[in-house]
Amino acid sequence: MSTLPFSPLAGRTLGSLACALSIVLAGCAVGPDFMAPKSAAPADWSSWHGGDPSLAAPVDSQAPLQADWWTAFHDPVLDSLEARAFAASPDLEKAALHFAQSRVQRSTVAAQGWPSVNLSAGENRQRISEYSASTRIAKGLGPEETALIDLLSQPFNDYQAGFDASWELDLWGKVRRSIEAADADVAQQAALLDQARLSVASDVARRYFQLRTAQRQIQLTRDDIDALAQRLNLIEVRVNAGVLDHVDLAQQRAELSGLQAQLPGLLAEAGTYENQITLLLGERPGALHEALQPVVDDRRSTLPDLSAGIPSEVAGRRPDIRAAEQQLRSATASIGVAKADLYPSVSIGAQFGYESYLSGEFGDWASRTWSIGPSLNLPLFDHGRRKSVVQLRELQQQEAAVDYHRIVLQAWQEIDDALSGYASYRQATDKLMQRVHSADEAYQLIQVKYDAGTVDMLSLLDSHRTYLQARRDLVSSQGQLDIQFVAVNKAVGNVPDVPAKVADAGP
C-alpha cells in the first residue's frame, strides 16, 4: 500500500497546523466572566416587614421545609389530586419538554467545537464546450488543434468519491462562550421546571380549598334558608293572629329572598373551581365530579405553626430567582460570543478522494486527489454591524441584571405578604372559632330554655341562625387560611420533590 509522500508544501502545512493548535490551546475567551450576583437579605424575618408589627410572627430559620407540604392537611382527596396533577398536568409536561429542548440545544452548540467530516460520492456524464476555457490549450497547435478540441469536447463519465473535513479553531472562545450560554439556558429551564412543579401543586391546592369552602358555604346557606323559612312561617302565624303587623312579615320575606339569591352564585362558583381543577389535571369538565363531592365531615385539621421554621435562605431557593440568575449568566456569555466575531477566524480544511473518467481506473492510487491547509477570515468593514451586536448584548446583560434584582425584591415582598396574610387569617380564625363556640353555647342554652317552655320558637330560631352565620364566617376564614398556607409555601420556593417526565435528550 502506497503512502502519501512528504513534500515541502506538506511540511509547511503541518507546521501551520501545529502552530494554530498551539494558539488555540493557549487562547483565552474574550468577553466578561460571569460573577454570581449577591443580593441583600434580612438578618431575621421581622426586620424586613411592611405593615403592622403584630403580623410579623417570629420564624425559626433552622427548621427544614416539608417538600410535600400539602400533606399537612391530612386530606386523601387532595393528596390524590396532587399525585394525578404531577403525572398528567399539561403545564408540567410543557415545562419538561422545554427542559429537554434546552439539553438538545446545548448538544448542538457543543458540536461546533469539533471538526465536521462529510463523505461524498457521485457519477455524472458531461461534455465540455468547444469554446470553453478548457479548450484554450489547443489554440495555436496547427493541424492538431481541431482533433484535440474534438477530443476534449467529447462526452465522458466522471467518477468521484471522497471525504472532506473542516475545523474552525476556537481562538477567541466563541464556542466556549456559546457552551457557557447553553449551559445557563439548561439550568434556567431546570429552574422553570421546578417553578412549574411548584405552580401546579399550589394551583391544585388553592382551587381545591376554594371548592371545599364554596361547598361548605352552600350547605350552611341551605341550613340558614331552612331556618329562616321556619322563622317566616312563625311570623306569618303571628301576623294572621294579629300579634305582629305585615311589616315584620315583609322584612322576613325580603331577607329570605336575598339569602336564596346567594345560593345560585355559590353553586356556579363551586362548578368553576371544579372545572379549574380538572383542567390542571388534564381532564375534561365533569371528569372529577364524583371524586369532588362535598364531604360530610368538615372538621379542620390543625395547620403547622409557621413559627416552627422557614429557612432564611429561601429567596435563593425560589425557582424564579434561580432562573433569573441563569438568564444573567447566559446574557454575560453572549457578550463574549459577539466580541469573538470582531477578531479573525482560522479554519483548517482537508480533503481526500478519488476522481477518474475511467471506471476501471477509479480505484487506482493514481486517481487520488487531496488538499489540506488553513484559511483565514479577517473582518475589515461591515459598517459597525459587529460592534452594534456587542453593544446590544451588553445592554441585554444590563437588563438581565436589573431583572434579577427586581425579582429578588419581588420575592421578599411576596414572602412578607404571604406571612402577613397567614398571620392575619390565623388570628381571625382563632377569634371566629371562639365566636362559634360562644354562639353554639348560647344556642344550646336557649334550646334548654325552649324545652322548659321559658322561651318561644322564634328566639330559638334566631339563636340557631346566629350560630349558622358564625359558622359561615369561620368557614370563609378557614378557607382563606388554607390558601394563605399555600401562598407561603409558594412564596418561599418550597418545590415539591416529585420527578417530572423528561425526554431523553442526551447529556
CATH number at residue 1: 2.20.200.10
258 within some domain: yes
Strand partners, 80: none
Sheet holding 156-168, edge to edge: 116-126, 156-168, 345-356, 368-377
- Residue-level pLDDT at 471: 92
First to last CA, the chain: 41
Angle made by CA atoms 267, 471, 292, in degrees to the nearest 5: 40
54 within some domain: no
Same-domain pairing of 98 and 203? yes
Task: Give dist(CA 81, CA 301) in Å, integer.
Answer: 18
- Residue-level pLDDT at 149: 78
Same-domain pairing of 187 and 333? yes
Task: Give dist(CA 232, CA 240) in Å, integer.
Answer: 12
In terms of DSSP H, where are the helices of 111-173?
A: 144-152
507 within some domain: yes
- Residue-level pLDDT at 476: 93
473 within some domain: yes
Same-domain pairing of 242 and 273? yes
Task: Give dist(CA 195, CA 406) in Å, integer.
Answer: 17
- Residue-level pLDDT at 96: 94
- Residue-level pLDDT at 385: 92
Task: Give dist(CA 343, CA 170) in Å, integer.
Answer: 11
DSSP assignment string, 314-341: HHHH-HHHHHHHHHHHHHHHHHHHHHHT
Contacts of 354 (CB under 8 A, 6+ apart): 159, 160, 161, 162, 362, 363, 367, 368, 369
Give the CA dihedral 354, 355, 358, 364, nearest 10 degrees: -30
Same-domain pairing of 128 and 208? no
102 within some domain: yes
| Full-model pTM | 0.82
Domain of 478, CATH number, reads 1.20.1600.10
Local mean pLDDT, 10-residue blocks, the chain (507 residues)? 40 46 59 86 69 69 73 92 93 94 94 89 85 74 75 83 88 92 96 95 96 93 88 83 77 86 93 95 92 75 58 73 95 95 91 85 84 88 91 96 93 88 91 94 89 81 89 92 92 82 48
- The C-alpha cell of 45 is what? 424575618
- The C-alpha cell of 415 is what? 414572602
52 within some domain: no
Same-domain pairing of 234 and 323? yes
496 within some domain: yes
Same-domain pairing of 132 and 258? no
Q: Which of 330, 354, 378 is the last residue of a domain?
A: 378
Same-domain pairing of 373 and 457? no
Same-domain pairing of 231 and 366? no
Cα of 363 vs its chain's centroid, Å: 57
Residue 404, CB-side half-sphere exposure with 13 Å CA sphere: 23
Q: Find where cell 322576613 sits.
A: 252
Same-domain pairing of 130 and 204? no
Q: 204 near 277, Cβ under 8 Å? A: yes
Domain tally for the chain? Answer: 2
> Tens digits of per-residue pLDDT, 78-100?
999 999 999 999 999 999 999 99
Supply the range of the domain harboring residue 335.
74-114+173-294+313-343+385-507
Q: 362: how many CB neighbours lie within 10 A of its CB?
A: 16
Same-domain pairing of 133 and 272? no
Same-domain pairing of 140 and 270? no
Same-domain pairing of 133 and 82? no
Number of H helices, E strands in the chain: 10, 4
61 within some domain: no
